[in-house]
Structure 1
């Protein structure tokens, strides 16, 4: 497990989100990498089927592994779970797992219900799927109404998109360092000062219930 090696003051625990408006959230996005697949399974498999928002996940893995992840979560979850495909409508109560080697973004090209777009572009984003690409697009379609979660993983993917989400009035949750295999991605958000809260995986699950459950 990783631990703090520097002083970063980020609110922790459920009290950290007590003062945040929960009814404004319309989309949950999750960026994850090394150390996160099992945590994602546990979190998403223990959510109810009647969530009022979609959940989009960018997990750094090759295609056959992202497909396996989607299948394993779908097997245990009450939620509907899809391995993302081009043009899929973004629906409440559905989890979309990005395909490996493809960025997943949200778009509203024809002015109707938002849909998924899959592409290897931009190539300068070395992680495909990229949390930054996902978070940026989510904020474009749902400005101020996105909850972005940054989980265990190497590097800094997610901090740029999380910064945009936070500046627009959305909510950013970073995984607590003590529960991370690699604290890189959450640390980048914590150091940038964009994390509303630093939560354990179980606290993240409870936060998703709080922000995404029906009124």
Structure 2
């Protein structure tokens, strides 16, 4: 117990290590993966008090108050609804014990310390997060362009008189617009980033 308290005071309990894929089933995060929906763990950092689990769908954070507490707060941030921004990697100096990766997911800032021996693995995570961030920014631009395009198209339509009533015409246009927007959002609000993690993590 006194060792755990000392670790908290020195800040050592916050330094994590990268967990090997063969040990993913041993961590607590594994209990919260949506395997039934195709979710998969790609990268996991574990410290004495926290787990940072990167899946193809989300960041799952098991937040421990301290190394002396067994309580955990489960936080889940899907990439679809929480864009990743401001990814940085801070390497270790001569006397440093750790390296650090920082990023925002949605409006939540993260700063994760990792033992400096795991620098190569953390570089791979850095590249994956940077690529995901780039795709999310590009897709957001495409989504905005698509919505503007639909608005311009709808404004340019003139009322037409055929056999159908104005009400039927309105329903037809509204249904088409809804389906078109739904399809566009599914295309550009990406849920699954498996191919990015496979490219940079599972090399």
- If the length of structure 1 is used for normalisation, what is the TM-score? 0.25
Q: Which has the higher contact order (CA 8 A, sep 6+)?
A: 1
Greater strand share, 1 or 2? Answer: 2
- If the length of structure 2 is used for normalisation, what is the TM-score? 0.26
